[in-house]
Each structure stands twice: as structure tokens, then as C-alpha cells.
Chain A
Amino acid sequence: GAGVSQSPRYKVAKRGQDVALRCDPISGHVSLFWYQQALGQGPEFLTYFQNEAQLDKSGLPSDRFFAERPEGSVSTLKIQRTQQEDSAVYLCASSLYGTGANVLTFGAGSRLTVL
């Protein structure tokens, strides 16, 4: 498609379960970003890929969070042993260029609710 696609759009998990969130970036986009958006707040940076290389994971809140982009296109954000504080919208964004400041195009997000 023409935009960034994320799935699932909604996910309900019981505390302690593992979840996987998928992002299909715009075709040909080199950079891919994951953000976490809590209710009523702005998106917060989690991690960044340039092609398949994860260049920055400084925003991942704990070692329960793991992201990968093995072939430089689709990315998966995995959260192990989910906790209630993980409830948020997880946004994926991509950009055409690999370096330098440029416009990020966002997907609609995956809303995770942990019970």
C-alpha cells in the first residue's frame, strides 16, 4: 500500500502474556522508527532501524521489549511478559532517507491493552 501499515490495530493481552506487533513501512523507505504513545501524551521514541540495522534502542523501557527488522523491510516489536504499564498505542513510522533529519510517515498504530 501507499502508507505505513500496522497490525493488529487492537490487542488485548492478559498480564504476563507475550505480544508481537507488526509494521509494514512504505516500500523503499530506509529508516523505521517505533514510538510508544500513552493516553493523553505525545509519542515517545523507542527504537530506530536503518535497513536491518538497529542503530538506536535507547528508548526501549526494559529488556522485555525487543524489536527486529531482519530483511530491512517489515519490523516486529515484541513485548514479553506484558505489564499493565505497557498499555499504550505503539506507533510505527518510516522515512525515505537513512540519515539526517527528515519527515516521518506514521501508521495508525497498534493499541495494546494489558488486563
Chain B
Amino acid sequence: GESVGLHLPTLSVQEGDNSIINCAYSNSASDYFIWYKQESGKGPQFIIDIRSNMDKRQGQRVTVLLNKTVKHLSLQIAATQPGDSAVYFCAEWRLSDKLIFGTGTRLQVFP
């Protein structure tokens, strides 16, 4: 079957710990960013988004931080659960033209 994340960087965390997934984006003109979660055999699923006029946005158990100076995004997941195991992608809208995905990080949660 589809093996998303076969060659991707992997972050391993223990259940209950907080997870931080980092992403560097390439285009300083990008104005909108989205984090997606992809489980094996499924399409990417929206988690949280942030526009370039913000530095931080919080959702349920997730927080996204944006540092435009160094073109860096991070996704923080609080109290990581086994169901959070998946591949996580950051994606950037370049000039509202098209959505470009990063390379992804595989999150493994251990009991």
C-alpha cells in the first residue's frame, strides 16, 4: 500500500509529551500557510492555518508559530496521542497562486 513518509525525517515522541515539528519555507512573498496531516492511505487533512500578518495561532491541542524573518514555521502538538502518528506537511501559498508543499516530517508516538 501507499507508504507515505518512507524516506522522510522522523520525530519520535512518547505519548503525553509535546511535539514540535519544524518547517522552513522558501519564498518570502508567501502570505498564507497551512499545516496538513497525512495518514497512510489517505489524503492530506487540514490541521491549522496562519496568515503572514500573524505570528501565532492556536487550535485545539495545536499551535502554529510563524517567523517571517527566518522563513520558519513550527507546529506544536500538546499531549501527543497515538492518533497523532502521521506525516505532517507544511504548505505555503505563493502569491495566492498555488499551494506548495514541503517535504514533510513523520511523527511516531510511542506508548
Residues on A facing B (Cβ under 8 Å): 4, 33, 35, 37, 39-45, 48, 56, 59, 89, 91, 93, 99-109, 111
Contact = CB atoms under 8 A, between A and B. Distances in A.
A53 to B, nearest CB: 15
The binding surface of chain A is classed by DSSP as: loop
A40 B44 contact: no
A108 B44 CA distance: 8
Interface residues on B, range: 20 to 34
B44 A106 contact: yes
Contacts of A107: 43
A40 B2 contact: no
Contact of B103 (A41, A91, A100, A109): A41
A59 B71 CA distance: 24
B5 A109 contact: no
A40 B3 contact: yes
B102 A42 contact: yes
A104 B96 CA distance: 12
B75 to A, nearest CB: 15
Interface in B69-111: 89, 93, 96-104
Nearest to A92: B43
Given A40-B7, A42-B104, A103-B34, A56 B2 contact: no
